[in-house]
Amino acid sequence: MKPYEHKIQEWGKIVGAQYAMLIDGRLRHFYKKGDRASRNCPYFMDEKLVWKNSCNSSLATTFASYRMTHKNVVVIKIEL
């Protein structure tokens, strides 16, 4: 594990995230699975550290769409 990945893991645990997405080596968003309030759409954490509804049907489609539009997209699973 790279040093920055350890920091992302630790921060992800603190905020309750399940995944982190990096684009070109920089943290883009933390994600967690949706619930009834979000109509089962995943949540993402914005730059103000607030969980928001991503309005996508699943995490897989969210990550796939970013992979189509960006050069280097890495998804890290946050280990609990």
Q: pTM for the full model?
A: 0.85
Number of structural domains, the chain?
A: 1
Q: Which two three-digit tokens encode residue 23?
A: 């684009």
| Mean pLDDT in residue range 18-36 | 92
pLDDT at 21 exceeding the cut of 80: yes
In tens, the pLDDT along 61-76 reads 888 888 898 778 889 9
Q: With contact defined as beta carbons under 8 Å apart, do 14 and 5 qualify?
A: no
**Average pLDDT, whole number, for the chain?**
89
Strand locations in the chain (E)? 19-23, 26-32, 43-45, 51-53, 73-77
Q: How confident is the model at residue 12, as a pLDDT?
A: 96
Centre a 10 Å sphere on the Cβ of residue 42 and count the other Cβ atoms it contains: 25
At 7-17, the pLDDT tens digits run 999 999 999 99
Residues 30 and 22 sit within 8 Å (Cβ to Cβ): no
Tokens 């968003």 belong to which residue? 29
Structural domain containing residue 47: 3-77
Residue 1 has pLDDT above 70, yes or no: no
